Amino acid sequence: MKLLLSLIFSAVVTTFNLNAAVAFEFKTTTEVTGLNKPWGMTMLPNGDVIITERNGQLRRWNGESLSNPILGIPEVLDGGQGGMLDVKAHPDFANNQMLYFTYAAGTNSQNGTHLARAKLTDNVLSNVEVLFKPSFLKRSSYHFAGRIEFLPDDTLVFGVGDGYSYKEHAQDLTSHLGKLIRLNDDGTIPSDNPFIKQKDAQPEIYTYGHRNPQGLAFDIKRNILFSNEHGPKGGDEVNIIKPSLNYGWPEITYGVDYSGEIISKYWSKPHMEQPLVNWTPSIAPSSIVVYYGNAFPLLNGHLLNTALKFQELRLVELTNSVIKNGVSEVQIMSETTYLKELKERFRDIELDNEGNIYLLTDSGKLIKLEPK
């Protein structure tokens, strides 16, 4: 059901400004309501949207109606922050119809983030293959991470959270917890993964020292992989992801524990990466895209982040990249906040072929932003 809200918004808050902030105007349309705890979505080449629901379902929205649950999903552990997580269409989906999805699996006392793929035909999954299970199964039902992104070589990267109570695993290369994982599209391990030849390291690991990364986006123009992730109380981050690097958690952080207890007295240490963006207080970032599209040309090359706690769409305006030693480098120009008026916890963001923006909310909505 479509509910035209006829709301036109412009920038509400500029948190800091090194140059004039980008301002764009749009109208919002609520395309779908009544979703069950939606978490992730992916856009198919024909414009259909596949949406995950944390209770273990996939749904297809074709622009007019929402399908019944897609059949063939493996058993999902729905509890705490777990359940059905992200979904991503293969870059060659038009020819192979392959979907990739992450989900929590196991029991309340032994669980972890899994990755599977399957072929989608009509509304049925077939040839379901589990491509990844974590090396360590945890008791807690928190910090699963799970966001998926494909790289230009058709390898894929996805996050595995630290499990909350197991934060020390983020620095342990024998554990998958607190890591970004990189695999080939068939689930095998790329031969150029950074730790593949290192003794006492899991060969799937791409980067480490992460807490709960829930946004991944590859910038096709700058050749940069961006991630955003939840800090504790303070210290939410946007990071530029490079293979083998240590992003510091929990050895360094700009946040403290929810109780106020100090996690680390250090903001920086040698050989640990600093974030591109540090959000203190926490906005609770949940997904990220690098915008390229015709609908809002002023946004091209900038980051859009969804936020849960702050209930907003956060635009991070970037400078044009500078090439240093063959590597693209960017700086932040400004941040601007949108959509606080809707009072929604925004869970995921996607773009269609024209650059219109789609947002999932924890209240069960799919919302479209398009030029007014």
Task: Give the whole-angstrom CA distance, residue 324 versus residue 191.
Answer: 27
**Is-catalytic flag, 143?**
yes
Name the residue among 148, 143, 146 with its Cα closest to residue 167. Answer: 143
Name the residue among 91, 201, 106, 221 with its Cα closest to residue 156. Answer: 91
What are the DSSP calls for 213-263, one per residue?
Answer: EEEEEEETTTTEEEEEEE-SBS-EEEEEE-TT-B--TTTS-S-B-TTS--S
The Cα-based distances of 359 to 159, 171, 265, 345, 347 in angstroms read 20, 33, 37, 10, 7
Query: Does residue 350 sit in helix, strand or coil?
Result: strand
Query: C-alpha 191: how far from its chain's center?
Result: 25
Amino acid at 198: Q
DSSP 341: G
Residue 192 tokens read as 């150029």
Task: Give the whole-angstrom CA distance, residue 320 versus residue 341.
Answer: 31
Task: Give the whole-angstrom CA distance, residue 143 versus residue 153.
Answer: 28
Longest dimension (CA), the chain: 59
Contacts of 326 (CB under 8 A, 6+ apart): none
Cβ count near 371 (within 10 Å):
14
Element (H, E) at 94: helix 93-96
Task: Give the whole-angstrom CA distance, residue 278 versus residue 238.
Answer: 7
- Catalytic residue, candidates 114, 143, 176, 302: 143
End-to-end Cα distance, the chain: 20
CB 179 within 8 A of CB 227: no
Residue 140 tokens read as 């807690």
Enumerate the active-site residues.
Answer: 143
